[in-house]
Chain A
Amino acid sequence: MDFTLSPEQLLIKDSVARFAAGAHAGTDVWPKFAELGWLAIGAPDELGGFGGPLETLLVMEQLGRGLVVSPYVSQVVLAGTILRAAGRSELLGRLVEGEERFAVAYEEPHARYDPAAVTATAAREGDGYAIRGAKVRVLDAATAGTVIVSARTGDEISLFAVPAGAPNLTRAPYAAEDGADVANLRFDGVRVDAQAMLGPLGGGLALLEQGLDHAVAALCAEGLGLMSLMLEATVEYTKQRHQFGVPIGSFQALQHRMAEMFVEVELARSMAYLAAMTLEDRRDDPAARKRGISAAKVQVARSARFVAQNAIQLHGGIGMSEEYKAGHYFKRLTMVERLLGDTDFHLARYVAHRGAKTEAAPLRVAEPAPA
């Protein structure tokens, strides 16, 4: 058992950390990401790819610490995983080079995060398909050149890659609370040819779930970065801020709260790593993968809420101020907590798949450890 990073992994971590510490707000980070090679993580060798879930974790944790709100999860992780699993290297290559951006449109109104709750349809028309339906909360749709959309082909669900400018496809973009680019999409008979289908007919849900699980693991890492920085900022602030003639960090009520935040951050760290390991180890066992990823999201989301709310509380009035960074971290963490499935969604999904755990947990109780 060894938790040390390889020299290559340390290099990634340090270079992302350096980038994240610099000024990046309001700029398009994408060309820079492409130049630094970060868009190739998880891609196959022949496309110049390297690394996998663990490298993704290192990138996302540092982006989180620097509050870099970027399309990394929606592009490299979500779309990238789907395109790789579907064997579409001509599309993936353009993503890796930074030449084209992708949006994955899977969630529908009232679906409550469930990727299987699809009413959009792709009806056979000539040698292609016509897609009809509505998708909501599509990440990074405004800048996407291609939209990957889920639709029913009969009883099953299939995925299609659709040019974002296709006739009868309308985008209604808006900015999320954390400034992220989101859109609602309507497909009113969007024509695509048979080549647009990703993976086999009816294989869309499996591809989508695989991509989403990779994306959730990446979000867990971003959440970890965000909350670890919030804890550090809170500890620092309570050492500087004086009331009653002493630093407020000397008060035990506040110390215990921060100790509890520390415990939560460490539990979240463990689950973020476990999520990355699950993706590596459970490649061929989707049920175990779903169980592990949902467990991680539940823990990270709960830890995130506790750490974020208490960070604001311990900062006092300044934590409420739009000028100060704590509030911005709070907003992003609140989004991360709910993106791609909130605690309730993933808890239910975990319960549905909990039998998938293979490690035999034996039985019965002894008394607790010694007094």
Chain B
Amino acid sequence: MDLAFSPEERAFRDEVREFIATHLPQDIRRKIQAGDHLQKDDYMRWHRILHERGWVAAGWPKEYGGTGWTPVQRHIFHEEIAYGWAPRLMPFGLHMVAPVIIEFGNDAQRARYLPKIASGEEFWCQGYSEPGAGSDLASLSTRAERNGETYLINGTKTWITAAQWADWIFVLARTDPQAKKQEGISFILVDMRTPGVTVRPIETIDGGKEINEVHLENVVVPVENRVGKEGEGWTYAKFLLEHERTGTAGIAGCHQQLETLRELLAQESIDDRRLNERIALVEIELEALAFTELRTLAAESAGKRPGPESSILKIKGTEIQQSLSELALDALGPYAEEHLAPRYFNYRKTSIYAGSNEIQKNIIAKRILKL
């Protein structure tokens, strides 16, 4: 048993840290430090800088431009991004649709989409949830009707982060309405400029405008935009969700939140025993979770696929994120700085998105405890 990072891994960490320190544009770093909303240009400028360095496509096979990193290196990179006050890489193209195209798409699709995802030339968003299909995603009702060499798509997708910036959306749509719920679903790529696609912003309780509803009305899409086999979309969707779950613990982000909180307390000269102990309890849980993440990483490094254990990371990670946003609010009382309350409101989403925490508990009960 060896629970430390290897010298090579430490060297990699230093290299990433150094690169971020010297290459991240100052104005972007300042925005993140101030808790401001980032614009598309902020994300994409940073994306292009990392792309030039060859560091965007973690987890892709090398032949498609992947970084060739081990799971531990991916973890280190992810953490350093947060520690260096850099924007995250938008995951919808890089870490959601790309792995599906690589695994289940054809050569023409790989050649058409992957280079532009990597370069950042095309921005993606995710068309999964619907007004009537959230946790029960397989009950989705968006229809894709086959007419020769095209599909005619009708339906509504919702809670879509960054759809207002997107060039493309990957859509789960029902191609066979007679088939059983999970069957008859296909995975289709839709150009956002296609006639009949409209985006309506949804303002959230924190005043944010990051999520949207996307209406698809008589949208005509060539059949070649379907990834994999017709009716197999559910399999691909599940594959994607498992990719999405890794990294949701957000450990590095929690450490930052914690430090921000401590700075605030120092600034306001707050030294309250009860508050200190409440913070300590969260800090200890965070330490336990960070080590749990390392345990799953070690298992991954030993060749095990990320399994249902990642539900622990989702549940506890989001609970800790929420606790920290709560503590910041409580620490400063009713006159909390203006960005603290919106963050607290905003963070309520964390236990809802990416498979609600209740769904994660179902996964643990069924797949680990075999109940």
Which A positions have Cβ atoms within 8 angstroms of B?
1-6, 9, 54, 235, 238-239, 249-250, 252, 255-256, 258-260, 262-263, 266-271, 273-274, 277, 295, 298-299, 302, 347-348, 350-351, 354, 361-371
Contacts and interface: CB of A to CB of B under 8 A. Distances in A.
A271 B259 contact: no
A365 B280 contact: no
A2 B297 CA distance: 9
Nearest to A297: B284
Contacts of A268: 288
**Listed residue (A266, A277, A350) with the most chain B CB atoms within 10 angstroms of its CB:** A266
A91 B369 CA distance: 47
B292 A6 contact: no
A274 B263 contact: no
B211 A350 contact: no
**Listed residue (B2, B161, B288, B349) with the most chain A CB atoms within 10 angstroms of its CB:** B288
Interface in B56-96: 72, 82-85, 87-88, 90-92
Contacts of B315: 263
Contacts of B288: 267-268, 270-271, 274, 299
A263 B88 contact: no
Contacts, number: 183
A350 B273 CA distance: 12
Given A347-B277, A363-B85, A3 B1 contact: yes
Contacts of B283: 354
A263 B211 contact: no
A255 B370 CA distance: 10
A26 B263 CA distance: 55
B179 interface: no
B369 A362 contact: no
Contact of B284 (A1, A3, A350): A350
B281 interface: yes
A1 B361 contact: no
B257 A255 contact: no
B87 A4 contact: no
Contact of A263 (B281, B316, B347): B316
A4 B303 CA distance: 13
B353 interface: yes
Given A1-B4, A370-B88, 10 more contacts: A3-B295, A235-B369, A238-B371, A239-B371, A252-B365, A258-B369, A267-B285, A267-B288, A267-B316, A361-B259
Given A298-B284, A350-B284, A351-B276, A3 B256 contact: no
Contacts of B263: 363
15 contacts: A1-B5, A54-B1, A255-B371, A259-B361, A262-B368, A263-B316, A270-B295, A277-B3, A362-B83, A362-B255, A363-B260, A366-B82, A366-B88, A366-B256, A370-B92
Contacts of A362: 83-85, 255-256, 259
Contacts of A256: 358, 361-362, 365
Given A249-B371, A258-B365, A371-B349, A351 B280 contact: yes
B199 interface: no
A363 B354 contact: no
Interface string B287-309: 11101101101110110000001
List the 4 shortest-distance A-B pairs measured between CB atoms, nearest first: A255-B365, A259-B361, A362-B83, A270-B291
Contacts of B4: 1
A54 B285 CA distance: 22
A359 to B, nearest CB: 9
Interface of B: 1-6, 9, 32-33, 35, 38, 72, 82-85, 87-88, 90-92, 159, 161, 210-211, 247-248, 250, 253, 255-260, 263, 276-277, 280-281, 283-285, 287-289, 291-292, 294-295, 297-299, 301-302, 309, 311-312, 315-316, 318, 321, 343, 346-347, 349-350, 353-354, 358, 360-362, 364-366, 368-371
B35 A365 contact: yes
B357 to A, nearest CB: 9
A36 B350 CA distance: 51
Nearest to B257: A365
B248 A273 contact: no
A228 B57 CA distance: 39
Contact of B280 (A2, A250, A350): A350
A369 B253 contact: yes
Contact of A3 (B35, B299, B366): B299
Nearest to A344: B277
A6 B1 contact: yes
A101 B368 CA distance: 43
Contacts of A267: 285, 288-289, 292, 312, 316
A57 to B, nearest CB: 10
Contacts of B360: 259
B31 to A, nearest CB: 10
Given A5-B1, A238-B371, A267-B288, A370 B258 contact: no
A298 B277 CA distance: 11
Contacts of B84: 362
A112 to B, nearest CB: 16
Contacts of B309: 266
A369 B291 contact: no
B312 A263 contact: yes
B256 A370 contact: no
Contact of B277 (A238, A239, A274, A348): A348
